[in-house]
């Protein structure tokens, strides 16, 4: 009884076409915030417009080769990694690394992100404070 009631309270978009990213965003936000057009527009925005000072960090979902010991298999799967800034320097906090890897300043960060995005099959999620998200302040004006 309670479970059925809770399910009715949840906003839930079902899959149509290949818009799973749009549906996932709307489902987690619990309202129809994004359309295919809006999501496409966000994806086309230049990395130069990111207001890096307002972004807490980045989560990247990137292709990763599968290996068994020293043998690399011809199989690729997705891997999540984090990027965070400390005192003006950005670091790759990939859990597969032995230690954080220095990326550098803002220019080097944009190059780092661009390299992953140019390979395709990569997503970049921004981690921002709630106030920044609500104001849409993670992007600089055009």
User: Is position 20 annotated as part of the catalytic site?
Assistant: yes
12, 20, 33, 43: the active-site residue: 20
Specify the pairing of strand 71-86 against strand 57-68: antiparallel
Cα dihedral 102/108/114/115 (nearest 10) = -50
The helix (H) or strand (E) run that includes residue 103 is strand 101-104
74, two tokens: 């011809």
Among the residues of the chain, which ranges form H helices? 2-9, 20-29, 36-44, 106-118, 130-135
Specify the pairing of strand 101-104 against strand 89-92: antiparallel
User: Is position 43 annotated as part of the catalytic site?
Assistant: no
Residue 69 CB-density burial (10 A; 0-12 exposed, 13-18 middle, 19+ buried): exposed
12, 23, 79, 122: the active-site residue: 79
| Residues with active-site annotation | 20, 79
């Amino acid at each position: 009884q309670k479970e059925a009631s809770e399910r009715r309270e949840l906003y839930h978009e079902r899959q149509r076409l290949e818009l799973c990213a749009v549906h996932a965003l709307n489902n987690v936000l619990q309202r129809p915030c994004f359309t295919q057009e809006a999501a496409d527009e966000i994806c086309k925005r230049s990395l130069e417009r990111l207001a890096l000072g307002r972004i807490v960090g980045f989560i990247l979902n990137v292709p990763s080769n599968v290996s068994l010991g020293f043998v690399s298999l011809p199989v690729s799967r997705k891997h999540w990694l984090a990027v965070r800034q400390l005192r003006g320097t950005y670091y790759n906090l990939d859990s597969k690394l032995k230690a954080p890897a220095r990326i550098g300043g803002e220019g080097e960060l944009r190059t780092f992100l661009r390299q992953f995005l140019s390979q395709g099959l990569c997503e970049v999620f921004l981690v921002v404070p709630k106030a920044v998200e609500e104001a849409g302040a993670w992007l600089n004006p055009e």
